[in-house]
């Protein structure tokens, strides 16, 4: 089991929308609620994740899923 940044998907959302963040070979990607993709730096990802983890926004949920690298190929 690989525990690198490439093997996780982060989902942040409410009851109305969900955004996904994951890493590919070129770097971090954000998939918006409308399905658009955006390249992001690790610092930008952290700026999106930290308020959800800290509980600053009460209705925001965060979910981190491990995905096996052998299955995603």
Give every CB contact of residue 10 below 8 A, 6+ residues apart in sequence.
20, 21, 22, 45, 49, 62, 63, 64
Domain residue extents for the chain: 5-66
Per-residue pLDDT of the chain (73 residues; tens, 9 = 90+): 677 777 889 999 988 999 999 998 899 999 999 999 999 999 999 998 998 889 888 888 899 999 875 544 4
Instruction: Tally Cβ neighbours within 10 Å of residue 3.
Output: 8
pLDDT of residue 63: 93
CA distance 47 to 50: 6
């Amino acid at each position: 089991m690989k525990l690198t940044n490439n093997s996780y998907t982060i989902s942040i959302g409410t009851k109305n929308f969900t955004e996904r963040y994951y890493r590919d070979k070129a770097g971090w990607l954000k998939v918006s609620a409308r399905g658009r993709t955006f390249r992001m730096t690790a610092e930008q990802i952290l700026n999106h994740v930290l308020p959800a983890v800290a509980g600053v926004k009460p209705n925001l949920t965060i979910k981190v899923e491990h995905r096996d690298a052998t299955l995603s190929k």
